[in-house]
């Protein structure tokens, strides 16, 4: 696969000395007993690459990238006041959290946009524990691409027994040689292909050379892919990650296929890592999704200290289920969502001839219609679902490109791929679709409102791969 102007992180960094070693583990956590938070979105200047490169002009929450890690408790009310000090409208979407429709952060559809200088208060009670994230839903290609995003962790009533709970918010940036964010958001050619894949991947906002670990410890690693377009397949040299949750929702604990944790944009995975490597050794964490373009994200570096326990940690790794209603597959009504468009070989667009709603800049469509935006007042729903009923949605990916398809307001159970049942029970809010594959998902339409359904490669979304489901 061709990634426009992909430069491996290491080659970008050639000549850069002394990046702060374990910076990626020291993260400011925003938690508050009262469940009240303030987020200020504004321009900032931050050392993403580190010396001798200059700091990068970003847009960020709370003057950091990623934005503050918000920690709240399952079932307890949260109130977050968002101040907009950006030069343009914004909103915040709480990705994956089953919020009431009015709190979903889609401009025009669920709320008026927050104008520069104004604020908006989001209030909701997260029903599910897990690893979620927040990001703007206005001009999101540019706003996420300039750094606006953060993790939102909803803690279980009883924490999983581990030695450390670690967050890696992974962000892909497209930087120029002077460490500035490259212009050219919304390039039509890219939008019709893989989207804006960058050239620099950070963990928790900076390049990570190493993460120090201790032999014998067990880490719960929360992975968030906050990239615009980069898909990741993370392999942990010498280690066997066990996936315990996908998109915040507990799954049957399992070792991922070929040991690789596959994460499309917006997807999360919680993995348990037992540090059973050798003292003093280093193990690379490698992203090998794009063939021939693998690079290492960081290294696990074992301290020269005796293991912290004599025997491997053997507590169970399963998480308590979240209160998701189980769809009734026997009575479920079926809907098909055909994903269409994109560039084929030779520069021709696939299948967009004669499509309705094709405005300027459309490259993609769902069931023949392209909605081109991040949210606006006049988005007619394409599918109407009845409150309380079970549905099976079939996503059929006709083009030759990957698409992480995200539904707002609900999590769905992933049933099958190309007609074969998925091997582990799993729920998600974003399902990664390989080219030419079809995926069945099921859920109970229990959250009323108009909900967006779109590809989370933001260039794809804003060039037509988006629709609205109405639950009434």
Angstrom distance (rounded) from CA 140 to CA 89: 11
Q: Does 27 bind Cu ion (CB under 5 A)?
A: no
Nearest residue to ligand C2O by CB is 95
Q: Which residues contact 216 (CB under 8 A, 6 or more apart)?
A: 275, 276, 307, 308, 309, 310, 312, 313
Angstrom distance (rounded) from CA 230 to CA 246: 18
Angstrom distance (rounded) from CA 151 to CA 204: 10
Q: Does 455 bind Cu ion (CB under 5 A)?
A: yes
β-pairing, 67-73 with 29-31? parallel
Options 217-225, 241-249, 349-357, 449-457: segment touching ligand C2O (CB under 6 A): 449-457
**113, two tokens:** 């946009």
Least CB distance to ligand C2O at residue 236 (A): 26
Least CB distance to ligand C2O at residue 135 (A): 6
Task: Name residue, tokens 């892919």.
Answer: 225
Q: How many other CB atoms are found less than 10 A from the CB of residue 373?
A: 21
Q: Does 196 bind Cu ion (CB under 5 A)?
A: no
CB nearer to Cu ion: give 215 or 266: 266
β-pairing, 466-471 with 383-385? parallel
Candidates 39, 82, 231, 266: give the one binding ligand C2O (CB under 6 A). Answer: 266
Residues 218 and 273: beta-carbon distance below 8 Å: yes
Return the one option of Cu ion, ligand C2O, none that residue 455 interacts with (CB less than 5 to 8 A, by type).
Answer: Cu ion
Q: Which residues contact 357 (CB under 8 A, 6 or more apart)?
A: 365, 369, 370, 371
The CA-atom distances, in angstroms, between 53 and each of 125, 319, 320 are 42, 43, 45
Candidates 460, 463, 467, 469: give the one binding Cu ion (CB under 5 A). Answer: 460
Least CB distance to Cu ion at residue 419 (A): 22
CB nearer to Cu ion: give 402 or 427: 402
Return the one option of Cu ion, ligand C2O, none that residue 268 interacts with (CB less than 5 to 8 A, by type).
Answer: none
Return the one option of ligand C2O, Cu ion, none that residue 191 interacts with (CB less than 5 to 8 A, by type).
Answer: none
Q: Does 98 bind ligand C2O (CB under 6 A)?
A: no
Q: Does 454 bind Cu ion (CB under 5 A)?
A: no
The footprint of ligand C2O (CB under 6 A) covers 93, 95, 135, 137, 266, 406, 408, 452, 454, 456
The footprint of Cu ion (CB under 5 A) covers 403, 455, 457, 460
């Amino acid at each position: 696969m061709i990634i426009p102007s992909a430069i491996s992180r290491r080659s970008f960094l050639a000549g850069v000395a002394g990046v702060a070693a374990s910076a990626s583990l020291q993260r400011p956590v925003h938690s508050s007993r009262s469940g009240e938070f303030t987020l200020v979105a504004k321009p900032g200047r931050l050392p993403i690459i580190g010396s001798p490169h200059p700091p990068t002009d970003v847009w960020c929450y709370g003057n950091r990238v990623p934005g503050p890690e918000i920690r709240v408790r399952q079932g307890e009310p949260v109130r977050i006041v968002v101040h907009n000090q950006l030069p343009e409208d914004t909103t915040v979407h709480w990705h994956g959290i089953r919020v009431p429709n009015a709190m979903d952060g889609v401009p025009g559809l669920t709320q008026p946009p927050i104008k520069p200088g104004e604020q908006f208060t989001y209030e909701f009670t997260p029903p599910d524990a897990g690893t979620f994230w927040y990001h703007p839903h206005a001009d999101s290609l540019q706003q996420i691409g300039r750094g606006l995003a953060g993790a939102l962790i909803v803690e279980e009533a009883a924490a999983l027994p581990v030695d450390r709970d670690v967050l890696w918010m992974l962000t892909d940036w497209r930087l120029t040689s002077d460490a500035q964010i490259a212009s050219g958001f919304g390039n039509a050619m890219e939008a019709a292909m893989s989207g804006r894949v960058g050239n620099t991947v950070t963990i928790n906002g900076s390049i990570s050379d190493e993460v120090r670990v201790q032999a014998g410890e067990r880490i719960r690693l929360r992975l968030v892919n906050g990239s615009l377009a980069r898909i990741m397949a993370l392999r942990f040299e010498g280690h066997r990650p066990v996936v315990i949750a996908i998109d915040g929702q507990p799954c049957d604990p399992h070792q991922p296929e070929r040991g690789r944790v596959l994460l499309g944009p917006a997807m999360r995975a919680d993995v348990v890592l037992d540090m059973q490597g050798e003292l003093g050794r280093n193990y690379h964490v490698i992203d090998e999704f794009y063939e021939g373009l693998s690079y290492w994200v960081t290294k696990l570096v074992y301290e020269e200290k005796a293991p912290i326990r004599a025997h491997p940690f053997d507590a169970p790794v399963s998480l308590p289920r979240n209160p998701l209603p189980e769809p009734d597959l026997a009575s479920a009504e079926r809907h098909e969502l055909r994903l269409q468009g994109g560039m084929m070989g030779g520069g021709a667009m696939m299948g967009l001839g004669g499509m309705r709603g094709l405005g300027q800049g459309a490259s993609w469509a769902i069931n023949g219609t392209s909605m081109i935006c991040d949210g606006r007042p006049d988005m007619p729903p394409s599918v109407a679902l009845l409150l309380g009923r079970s549905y099976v949605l079939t996503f059929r990916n006709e083009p030759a490109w990957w698409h992480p398809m995200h539904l707002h307001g609900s999590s769905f159970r992933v049933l099958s791929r190309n007609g074969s049942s998925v091997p582990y029970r799993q729920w998600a809010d974003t399902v990664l679709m390989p080219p030419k594959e079809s995926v069945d998902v099921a859920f109970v339409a229990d959250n009323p409102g108009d909900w967006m359904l779109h590809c989370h490669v933001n260039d794809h979304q804003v060039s037509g791969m988006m629709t609205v489901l109405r639950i009434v």
